[in-house]
Amino acid sequence: MFNIWGLLLKFFSSLTIEPMFLLYYVSASIATLASTNLLIQKACHTGATVEPDYNTPCPDEVEAQKLVTNINVWRPTMEYTLPVIIITFLGSWSDTHGKRRKPLLLIPVIGEIVTTIFVMLSVYYWSWSPELTAVLESIFRGITGGRTCFSSGANTYISDITNVEQRTFRLGIVTAMIFVATPIGSALAGFLRMQLGFFKLFGLCMILNIFALSLGFVLMKNSTNEKSPLKFYQGMFDLSKLILSFKTLFKNRPGNKRVVLLCMAVVSPLFGACFTGEFSVIYFFLRYKFYLDEVEFGYYSAYKMLTVVFGTIISVSIFSKVFKLSDALIGCLGAITQIATALLMCFAVYKWQVYVFPLFDFMHGAIYTTSRSIVSKAVEGTELGQINCVLGTIDSLIPLIVFPTYNKFYNYTFELMPGAFFSFKCLLSNYYFHIILNYMDYRQ
């Protein structure tokens, strides 16, 4: 019993960003599904001035989906372009100001609080168009960095406070936290929307983010006692730092470390492209072909993500620690499972298949974890902020391409072949697989 209490005490005393991370992603998951449903409802009832009766079927599902997917073509410009600017400058600023990582995580949470307030106003004033709602939601999230800045800050902070031996495992835990929080939020989103309505649901998201912000202030400690002679605002918008960040990626390094970094600079965005693009249309696909409503889709998303959670834990913890597989080999296995799952989902005919086929994608989270772990082991600690800032910048640019591509492609094909968009996942995962193989050749 003493040992159990000792382990529990050690566990809770080691918590830093994990509670904030959990609350932030639970709220983000709820808000993502709820906002998609909000846009669909506004698209279904374009002339309404008050909230409609949701028990009434959508008068024109095809036209509603076309309207929302067309919104998703231009929406990423605001939601993902601005985080590129934010994370690029803040990443190098945090390196030169005593490794201040708190702003990288706290500013996006503040942005989510402001965003939910404006979405609540859009619900209250129901006559606001779907386009205006999308603009208000995207622009404030983009200005404050969004999930890109938050996840980059988390990776940098964890890399600061862990040693090389524990880094893969600890980054795996953080990645798994995303896959724990997301199904929780997904499972709750549809049910809570039915029980509370849109206005109260977004109010709940705001409260969760306020708690996350409070926990961040309390639990996060500076990763170093290093003091910077620079004033707070100095170097924040220094273009030379932006250039320096990208030079850090290309500079000469011992062995093949530069090649490693360049490979990983491609791998991480490819993973993000699959995830972002697919997630942007999967609800429309399941709603149109298999008639899943928002409640069932919430449960489906939770189920799908839970398979990824356990797969991530197995692939990172057991394969890395027990079988001592390299990060690259784990990543290759993850790419293979993604290709197999995409092919199966593309040609799914029956509803039970969309529940069974995601089981093959159990190593989904391993790709992101291993690529970031490889990067952290190839650079010095003083460069982590700059490198993660560059990777975050590239990650932010990818949705500008894949989000419109997936949505436009789905818009053109869903009446003929709804699952055709899964072919993109096969293509991108294949590229990832070959990049990892080249990386392994360079190591040899």
Instruction: Give the pTM.
Output: 0.77
SS (H, E, C) the chain: CHHHHHHHHHHHHCCCCHHHHHHHHHHHHHHHHHHHHHHHHHHHCCCCCCCCCCCCCCCCHHHHHHHHHHHHHHHHHHHHHHHHHHHHHHHHHHHHCCCCCHHHHHHHHHHHHHHHHHHHHHHHCCCCCHHHHHHHHHHHHHHCCHHHHHHHHHHHHHHHHCCHHHHHHHHHHHHHHHHHHHHHHHHHHHHHHHHHHHHHHHHHHHHHHHHHHHHHHHHCCCCCCCCCCCCCCCCCCCHHHHHHHHHHHHCCCCCCHHHHHHHHHHHHHHHHHHHHHHHHHHHHHHHHHCCCCHHHHHHHHHHHHHHHHHHHHHHHHHHHHHCCCCHHHHHHHHHHHHHHHHHHHHCCCCCCHHHHHHHHHCCHHHHHHHHHHHHHHHCCHHHHHHHHHHHHHHHHHHHHHHHHHHHHHHHHHCCCCHHHHHHHHHHHHHHHHHHHHHHHHHHC
pLDDT in 10s for each residue of the chain, 444 residues:
446 666 556 655 666 777 888 899 999 999 988 999 999 999 988 877 788 777 778 888 899 999 999 998 888 888 877 777 776 666 666 655 555 667 778 888 999 999 999 999 999 999 899 999 999 998 888 888 888 778 877 877 777 777 666 666 777 777 777 777 888 888 899 899 988 989 999 999 999 999 999 988 887 776 555 555 545 455 555 566 667 767 777 777 776 677 777 777 777 677 777 777 888 899 999 999 998 888 898 889 888 878 877 777 777 777 777 777 777 777 777 778 888 888 899 899 999 999 998 888 777 777 777 777 777 776 766 666 677 767 767 776 777 888 888 999 999 999 889 988 888 877 776 666 666 665 555 555
Spell out the domains of the chain, with CATH numbers in brackets.
Answer: 17-42+59-219+241-443 (1.20.1250.20)
